């Protein structure tokens, strides 16, 4: 008869187990809310890796001596390989360097690997400066959008003396300006208040995108980067495709993906400084590449607004907002302000989600 009574008025084992389970779930939810996973996406050369480096600088995540040495060696390869890309483009366009510079071409064809602590070879210093000043090289670089030539070359060639000093180590701007193709997945962690941020950078070129899906779970927000200056440029991996058109197609697929129906999307219209310079060139007007642009020539603000709308109109969700920011990823002060706004957006989004639970 007493089989249905609980013993001693205490909790049953099942009730205690359920209560412990609930406590564990709530603790896991609390930890998840304190961990923010940011995914950096965008086509190649949009500036994702630069943003990742900026996050380290802004949040005082120091570069190790090994990393500084790696970036030091990258400066040399960026300069020499950048000149080789110009020479290759000149060959394709049937252009040539001035006669006194022809003897230097072999140097950039077969550059040495720089060893740890090794000074850059002096036999490259004067030839590189002479080649950069070459009339044909400058004419070819002015056509760089036709061959995806690196935009960072004027920065590096303006400071060759400093780079060739025996005691040279890269400063913050050098680190931000060096370029290397991102392969695989890079993660940077930083703490802001009670939140721990994990920011993932994945390669943007077409061959790298199949790896993206491995990062798609539990994403708090997507930072999608677009190079505004890419409206007149071809892809590094496909000279017949336009960078901006590629970015639009990619954004469409990400913004409307089933993976990200509830994920905040923050759009960085990046390389705003280069876009401002380009838009003032009568030979590089938006309407040449986007016939549906009906704004005024040389209109920086109008051009920027045109591209913002080109992206935001691709959002097919009535409940998702795309937050946009115009950025120059190499400008630390600007990016610090923008990222503070991004963090505010993420916090408000999390609070809204918590209210709906």
> Residue positions in the annotated binding site for Mg(2+)?
49, 182
Q: Is 95 exposed, middle or buried (0-12, 13-18, 19+ CB in 10 A)?
A: middle
Return binding residues: 49, 176-182, 201-205, 270-273, 329
| Axis crossing angle, helix 48-58 with helix 332-356, rounded to the nearest 10 | 90
Task: Establish how many alpha carbons lie within 13 A of residue 13's alpha carbon, considering only the half-sphere containing its beta carbon.
Answer: 0
Distance CA 249, CA 256 (A): 11
Q: Is 357 exposed, middle or buried (0-12, 13-18, 19+ CB in 10 A)?
A: exposed
Return binding residues for GTP: 176-182, 201-205, 270-273, 329
Please state, in angstroms and as integers, the Cα–Cα distance from residue 91 to each residue in 14, 139, 257, following that order. Answer: 78, 13, 42
3-state secondary structure of 322: strand
Q: Name the nearest CA neighbour of 328 among 258, 254, 272.
A: 272
């Amino acid at each position: 008869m007493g089989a249905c009574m609980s013993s001693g008025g205490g909790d049953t084992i099942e009730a205690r187990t359920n209560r412990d389970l609930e406590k564990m779930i709530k603790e896991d939810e609390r930890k998840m809310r304190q961990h923010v996973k940011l995914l950096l996406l965008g086509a190649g050369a949009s500036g994702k890796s630069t943003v990742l480096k900026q996050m380290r600088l802004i949040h005082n995540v120091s570069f190790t001596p090994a990393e500084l040495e790696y970036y030091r060696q990258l400066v040399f390869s960026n300069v020499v390989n950048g000149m080789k890309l110009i020479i290759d483009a000149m060959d394709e366009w049937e252009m040539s360097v001035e006669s006194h510079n022809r003897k230097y071409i072999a140097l950039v064809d077969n550059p040495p690997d720089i060893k740890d602590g090794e000074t850059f070879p002096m036999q490259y210093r004067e030839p590189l400066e002479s080649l950069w000043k070459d009339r044909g090289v400058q004419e070819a670089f002015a056509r760089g959008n036709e061959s995806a030539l690196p935009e960072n070359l004027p920065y590096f060639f303006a400071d060759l003396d400093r780079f060739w000093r025996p005691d040279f180590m890269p400063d913050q701007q050098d680190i931000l300006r060096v370029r290397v193709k991102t392969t695989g997945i890079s993660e940077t962690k930083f703490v802001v208040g009670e939140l721990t941020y994990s920011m993932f950078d994945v390669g943007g070129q077409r061959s790298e995108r199949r790896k993206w899906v491995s990062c798609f779970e539990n994403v708090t927000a997507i930072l999608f980067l677009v190079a505004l200056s890419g409206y007149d440029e071809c892809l590094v991996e496909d000279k017949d495709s336009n960078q901006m058109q590629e970015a639009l197609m990619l954004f469409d697929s990400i913004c409307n993906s089933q993976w990200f129906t509830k994920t905040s999307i923050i759009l960085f219209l990046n390389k705003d400084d280069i876009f401002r310079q380009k838009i003032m060139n009568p030979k590089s007007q938006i309407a040449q590449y986007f016939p549906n642009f009906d704004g005024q020539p040389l209109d920086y603000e109008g051009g920027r607004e045109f591209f913002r709308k080109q992206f935001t109109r691709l959002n097919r969700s009535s409940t998702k907002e795309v937050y946009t920011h115009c950025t120059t990823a190499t400008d630390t002060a600007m990016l610090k302000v923008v990222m503070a706004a991004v963090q505010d957006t993420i916090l408000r989004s999390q609070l809204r989600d918590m209210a709906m639970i």
